[in-house]
Amino acid sequence: MLRTRVTRVETPLPDEASHPPTAPLPAEDMTGETRPLTEAEPPLSRHFHLLLEDCPSNDDVDHDDDGDHFSEDADNPDDSFHLFNGHKDPILTAACSPTIEILVATGVKMIWCFCGALWVRWHPRENLVLAGSEDSTVWLWNADKATHLNIFFGHEGSVTCGDFTPDGKTISTASNDTSLRIWNPKTGSKIHVVKGYPYHTEAITCLTISYDSNLAITGSEGSSVHMVHIATGKGQITQSHSGDLGQVPQVISSLLTHLGSVMCVGLSPSVPLLATGSMDENLIIWDMQNSIARFTCIHEVGVSCLAWLGKSQYIATGCVDGKVLVWDSLSGNCVKIFNGHLHNITSLSVSSNGKFLVSGSIDGNVCVFEIAEFH
C-alpha cells in the first residue's frame, strides 16, 4: 500500500531586531529540542512550510502491460515511476534523505506566506533538514520531531543555496547579497563571511562543497564560477555596508566559460569532475585537477539543476522545458530523456539507495524516476 507521510511544519519567525543572530541551542546535541520562544517574539504571522513524504515501493505503482508507468496523455508522456501530485503550489526544491531511502523533503512556495523554502538539504548522518528562505533566514529542523533547532540570521537577501559540509560539522550558505557565510550548526554562530572582489559581484545562485569539506564552489547570475577555501577563511579583511567584517579568501580557481547565469554546480563523488549548468543552454563537465572543460553538453533550453547519479559516470540535468536528461560524463553524450513535468525543473535529488531520481517542478509535482540502469 502506498505510504505518503506529509508533515506540515508552521513556525513563527522571530524578529531579527529583537533577537541576536546567534541563538544557541539549549543542548549540545543538534538533535535536541527546539529552543523555547519568548514573549517578545511576534505572533504567528509568518510561517515556514516543509513537507516530508515517503516514496513508494514497486508494488504501489500502476503499470501498463509493458511495465511502463501508465499515462493517458499521448502528447505529454510520463516516464516517472511515481508522482507526488498533491501540492497546490510550485515546488521549489526536493531532496532525498541520505539515511532513509524512501524519505523526501520538499519546499513549497506558499502564496499566503511571507517566506518559503527555496531549498532544502539533509544532514549527511542525522535526520536533520536545513532550509533557506527568501526572507534572508536559514532554518535547521529536526525532521523526526518536526521542530526547528535554530535560525541563522546575517544574509541581506534571499538565501539561494546552502548545504552541510560532508563531515556535518559546519553549514555553508550563499545569497543574492553576493556573500558566502559559514556557520556553526550547534550554536548558530557565524564562523566567517566571504564577500567582495575577487569573489562574486552578482547574486550567487548555486553551491556545492568538496567531499573533504574544505572547498566551496559557487555559481552566480554573472556567469562566473569560483572556488574558495572555506575551512581556513584566509584572506583580506573587508567590511560590508552593514558593518559585518568579512574574510575574502584567495579565489583558488575561476571558471568563466558560461555566457549566462550559472544555475547549478555539482561534484562527482567518484572522479575529479565538476559539472556546471547554465541558462546559456549548456552543461559543462570540468576536469577539476586542471580547471579545463572536458565536454560541453548542448541543450535546447536552459539548464536549471543537476545531480550526479551516485558514484556512476552519469549526470542528470533538469531543464526549463520540464525534461530531465541523463548524460555520460566520459563521452559527453545524452543517453536518456525523462518526461513527466510540464514546466521548469527546480531540483533533482537521488535516493540513498541509488535507485530513484526525484525531481521537483514549478508545475507543483514531484516525479520519481527509476535510474537503476545507470549503476
For residue 335, CA distances in Å to 4, 212, 275, 316 come to 31, 31, 17, 10
Domains of the chain: 16-55+77-374 (2.130.10.10)
pLDDT tens figures, 102-154: 444 444 443 222 236 788 888 999 888 898 988 899 999 887 787 889 999 99
231 or 219, which is more confident?
Answer: 219
Rounded mean pLDDT of 295-301?
Answer: 96
Amino acid (one-letter) located at 21? P
The pLDDT-based confidence of 40 (bands split at 50, 70, 90) is very low
The pLDDT-based confidence of 48 (bands split at 50, 70, 90) is very low
At residue 373, the 3 state secondary structure works out as: helix
Rounded mean pLDDT of 208-215?
Answer: 94
Q: Are strands 324-328 and 314-319 parallel, antiparallel or unpaired?
A: antiparallel
- Asked whether the predicted pLDDT for residue 289 surpasses 50, the reply is yes
C-alpha cell at 32: 535536541
> What CA–CA distance (Å, rounded) separates 26 from 36?
9
For residue 52, CA distances in Å to 139, 238, 239, 288, 341 come to 15, 40, 40, 35, 20
The answer to whether 55 and 102 have CB atoms below 8 angstroms apart is yes
Lateral strand order in the sheet of 282-287: 262-267, 273-278, 282-287, 292-298
Which stretch, 36-45, 298-307, 346-355, has highest mean pLDDT?
298-307
Q: What is the pLDDT of residue 88?
A: 53
> What CA–CA distance (Å, rounded) separates 221 from 262?
6
Which stretch, 17-26, 45-54, 238-247, 323-332, has highest mean pLDDT?
323-332
The pLDDT-based confidence of 249 (bands split at 50, 70, 90) is low
Mean pLDDT check: name the lowest of 228-242, 256-270, 284-298: 228-242
- Asked whether the predicted pLDDT for residue 96 surpasses 60, the reply is no
Rounded mean pLDDT of 249-273?
Answer: 91
Rounded mean pLDDT of 326-332?
Answer: 96
The pLDDT-based confidence of 79 (bands split at 50, 70, 90) is low
- Asked whether the predicted pLDDT for residue 309 surpasses 90, the reply is yes
360 or 109, which is more confident?
Answer: 360
* Phi, psi angle pair for 374, to nearest 5°: -100, 25
Rounded mean pLDDT of 283-294?
Answer: 93
- Asked whether the predicted pLDDT for residue 368 surpasses 60, the reply is yes
Q: How many CB atoms lie within 10 A of CB 22?
A: 15
Buried b (16+ CB within 10 A) or exposed e, 346-367: bbbbbbbebbbbbbbbbbbbbb
Amino acid (one-letter) located at 96? C
What is the signed CA dihedral for 222, 131, 306, 319, rounded to 10 degrees?
A: -80
Buried b (16+ CB within 10 A) or exposed e, 125-164: ebbbbbbbbbbbbbbbbbbeebebbbbbbbbeebbbbbbb
* Phi, psi angle pair for 120, to nearest 5°: -135, 145
Q: How many residues does the chain have?
A: 375
Rounded mean pLDDT of 2-19?
Answer: 38
The pLDDT-based confidence of 252 (bands split at 50, 70, 90) is confident
Q: What is the pLDDT of residue 97?
A: 55
> What CA–CA distance (Å, rounded) separates 210 from 253?
14
Q: What is the pLDDT of residue 161?
A: 95
Q: What is the pLDDT of residue 67?
A: 40
- Asked whether the predicted pLDDT for residue 212 surpasses 70, the reply is yes
- pTM of whole model > 0.85? no
45 or 173, which is more confident?
Answer: 173
Q: What is the pLDDT of residue 38?
A: 35
**E-only strand ranges, 45-169:** 50-54, 82-84, 91-96, 103-108, 117-122, 128-133, 138-142, 147-152, 159-164
